[in-house]
């Protein structure tokens, strides 16, 4: 976990939702927080209660107890977390692949719709191996797409980095550095291409003005369809646990 600023502290409380397994709630106390607020991440179900620095803990827990019904409904709407284990499936370029174990292999290999992963000594697999495979494939696809769209605009990309971002699929800095979520490799290729075009267009327009969207449309006339796919399915891509 990244180190928090000195004025922010975190602790954990557990809330019993009337017979269900207790829910872990992160209590985030900060001098910058002006009012108490409860948030549930739509990606992984993380529950955070932000509270002002001077608010008594008992008051915060009382507020939390009053929000039981709201919290239960919010958690029901969170996509189920998907473990990356032998026999499970994972999306790759929009296609479900079954994960299988190969006790003799040293590297991951893709055969048809099966992803063979080297076995650990205990006969299981390490999810990080699968993540590494996806990151490598994502880098190849995104580097190619981003440079291609930038060239069409007469621009150059200064650098490309991949991260496991939670709030955005890509970004562009004023000096031409592009960042992408490596989880895009799980989406259909046209969706990955849309995000590459989206960020490349920022090399011309560092905003979301009409001129910017006209630029995106020039690169990909049907971009709205791929943008809609991400809105509808993006949370599922974040549901895989590596």
| 70-78: long-range pairs with CB below 8 Å, 24+ | 70/38, 71/15, 71/17, 71/23, 71/38, 71/40, 71/47, 72/17, 72/20, 74/40, 75/23, 75/40, 75/45, 75/47, 77/42, 78/40, 78/41, 78/42, 78/43, 78/44, 78/45
- Same domain flag for 138 and 234: yes
> Both 105 and 49 in a single domain?
no
CA distance 86 to 232: 27
Residue 221 counted as domain residue: yes
**pLDDT for 179-199, tens place per residue?**
999 999 999 999 999 999 999
Evaluate whether residue 222 is within a structural domain. yes
Of 59, 76, 93, the residue that ends a domain is 76
CATH (domain of 199): 3.30.2010.10
Of the residues 91, 126, 161, the one at which a domain ends: 126
Q: What is the pLDDT of residue 241?
A: 87
Instruction: For 10-52, write each residue's pLDDT tens digit.
Output: 888 888 876 667 888 999 998 889 899 999 887 777 899 999 9
- Strands 240-241 and 82-83 come out as parallel
104 and 45 in one domain? no
The reply to whether 34 and 60 lie within a common domain is yes
Residues 119 and 138 grouped into a single domain: no
E-strand spans in the chain? 8-15, 23-30, 37-40, 47-52, 82-83, 89-92, 95-102, 109-111, 114-118, 159-163, 170-172, 177-181, 240-241
> Is the residue at 194 inside a domain?
yes
- Terminal alpha carbon distance of the chain: 16
Residues 92-129: tens digit of each pLDDT: 999 999 999 998 888 999 999 999 999 999 989 999 99
Q: Answer whether residue 231 is part of any domain.
A: yes
Q: Specify if 201 maps to a domain.
A: yes
Looking at the structure, do residues 167 and 186 belong to the same domain, yes or no?
A: yes
Assess if residue 116 is contained within a domain. yes
User: Does residue 1 lie within any of the structural domains?
Assistant: no
- Over range 55-74, report the average pLDDT: 90
Whole-model pTM: value is 0.75
Question: Pick from 61, 76, 91: which residue ends a domain?
Answer: 76
* pLDDT band at residue 4 under the 50/70/90 scheme: very low
Please tell me whether residues 235 and 134 are part of one structural domain: yes
Q: Are residues 165 and 209 located together in one domain of the fold?
A: yes
Show the CA angle centred on residue 64, arms to residues 62 and 66, nearest 5°: 75
Residue 2 lies in a domain: no
Q: Within this chain, do residues 116 and 136 fall inside the same structural domain, yes or no?
A: no
Instruction: Compute, in degrees rounded to 10, the torsion defined by CA atoms 24, 163, 230, 204.
Output: 140
Domain of 119 in residue numbering reads as 82-126
In this structure, of 54-63, 77-86, 94-103, 145-154, the range with the lowest mean pLDDT score is: 77-86
Q: How many domains does the chain have?
A: 3
């Amino acid at each position: 976990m990244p180190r928090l600023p000195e004025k922010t502290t975190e602790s954990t409380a557990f809330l019993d939702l009337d017979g269900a397994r207790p829910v872990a709630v992160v209590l985030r106390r900060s001098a910058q927080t002006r009012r108490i607020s409860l948030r549930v991440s739509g990606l992984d179900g993380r529950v955070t209660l932000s509270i002002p620095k001077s608010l008594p803990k008992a008051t915060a827990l009382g507020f939390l107890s009053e929000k039981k019904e709201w919290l239960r409904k919010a958690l029901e709407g969170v996509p189920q977390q998907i473990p990356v284990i032998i026999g499970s499936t994972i999306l790759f370029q929009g296609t479900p692949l079954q994960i299988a174990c190969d006790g003799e292999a040293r590297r991951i290999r893709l055969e048809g719709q099966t992803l063979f992963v080297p076995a650990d000594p205990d006969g299981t697999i390490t999810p990080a191996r699968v993540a590494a495979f996806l990151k490598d494939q994502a880098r190849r696809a995104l580097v190619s797409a981003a440079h291609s769209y930038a060239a069409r605009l007469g621009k150059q990309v200064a650098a490309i980095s991949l991260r496991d971002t939670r709030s955005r699929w890509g970004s562009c800095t004023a000096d031409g550095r592009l960042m992408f979520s490596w989880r895009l490799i799980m989406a259909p290729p046209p969706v990955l291409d849309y995000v590459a075009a989206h960020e490349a267009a920022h090399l011309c327009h560092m905003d979301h003005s009409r001129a910017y969207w006209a630029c995106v449309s020039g690169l990909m006339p049907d971009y709205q369809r791929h943008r809609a796919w991400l809105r509808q399915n993006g949370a599922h891509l974040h549901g895989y646990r590596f």
